[in-house]
Structure 1
Amino acid sequence: MDFSVRTVRADEWERARDIRLAALQDPAAPIAFLETYEGASAQPDSFWRERTEGGSESGGGRVRQFVAETSDGRWVGTVSVLVERPSDEVRFGAPAKVDQTHLVGVFVRPEARGTGVIDALFRAAVDWSWTLPEPAIQRVRLYVHEDNARAAAFYRRFGFVATGETVAMPGDESAFEIEYELPRPEAGA
């Protein structure tokens, strides 16, 4: 599959909405996302404009959304990166003890799975994390539902390791999400 990875542009809110809604209709959505299709599809256009602007290069740098785009312009995957500093309010999981980024909203369309799209998206997200200005990002983290074995296997293959931290799933205290991290590489490594 011929594709490239890039940052979403602020004016692409309709395309960003469309791939998010497709993700929320995926069979894995109930264990992969904290948002539902019904809730997301009810959001007004202004919500999607603001969300997409926030993930673009012009959005202020606290969030970055990457998309994998085929040569014919189709978006086949996405991942968003949240910058988390120790002084920030906690969005999900344990408070940041170090300067870190948090990968969320990971999705690859079924027809693009197994083609390298997810690897390229993660490489772009992680590389962007390491290039952020001081204070330097010390780790990239993400959470994965305990029953999402396919995603967990990819994260481990990419180099993420479980930290031992878990968070109860909102709305289902009997289920939990497992934190994984990728520490910053040592200089010269």
Structure 2
Amino acid sequence: MSHIVIRPTSAADWPALKSTRLAALLDAPTAFGASHASAADFSDADWQQRAVSTPQRTFFLAFNAEQPIGLAAQVVAGNGECHLIAMWVRSEYRGLAVAQDLVEAVKRCAVGNGHARLVLDVAPENARAAAFYQKQGFVFLPEWEALESHPHIRVQKMEWLAVA
């Protein structure tokens, strides 16, 4: 296996961000708040803007050589909560350290931006993801909400706290 690199995206990464995000939404349509159809409607300019990293929103891509193989993002919500979103790894790379390294990158980014707490939403039916996040130090909170893209699916909030 060649060397896997994880880095924040820049404007030039928009084609890789677009292809990876659309692949994720096709692969796991009920795992994300966005739908494939809504993301497919974004213009190239929208993708370029999304690829620019800011303290409010940073996408991370995992690359194997030039091939994007995974994605995760840190997004600060309107209420100031820092969220881990858009987490996805190509099936042939699951079970390796790629997902863990993506989560680590998001944690470092969040802490670097002054957030001691990171939250995410997971559907309890997605047992593999829930178990993975628990291994990464996330704990379930008694908070539930409907998934924006599929309102019949209830997702539970998990949180990770940086060690002071």
- What TM-score, normalized by structure 1, do the two folds share? 0.79
- What is the distance in 1 between the residues matched to 2:33 and 2:98? 23
Partner SS for 1:140: strand
User: Which residue of 128, 148, 154 maps to 1:170?
Assistant: 148
Residue 12 of structure 1: how far off its partner (Å): 1.4
User: What residue number does 1:62 align with?
Assistant: 56
Residue 5 of structure 1: how far off its partner (Å): 1.0
- What is the distance in 1 between the residues matched to 2:86 and 2:39? 13
Larger radius of gyration: 1
User: What residue number does 2:111 align with?
Assistant: 130
Residue 171 of structure 1: how far off its partner (Å): 6.1
**Letter of the aligned partner of 2:136 in structure 1?**
F
User: What residue number does 2:68 align with?
Assistant: 75
Counterpart contact for 1:101–1:140, Cα < 8 Å: yes
Give aligned-pair identity as a percent: 31
Alignment of 1:112-127 (within 5 A): 112-127=93-108
User: What residue number does 1:11 align with?
Assistant: 12
The answer to whether residue 142 in structure 2 is matched with residue 149 in structure 1 is no
Counterpart contact for 2:34–2:149, Cα < 8 Å: no
Counterpart contact for 1:64–1:81, Cα < 8 Å: yes
Counterpart contact for 2:116–2:162, Cα < 8 Å: yes
Count of matched residue positions in the alignment of Structure 1 and Structure 2 = 163
The answer to whether residue 162 in structure 2 is matched with residue 184 in structure 1 is yes
Gaps spanning 5+ residues in structure 1: where? 89-95
Counterpart contact for 1:100–1:138, Cα < 8 Å: no
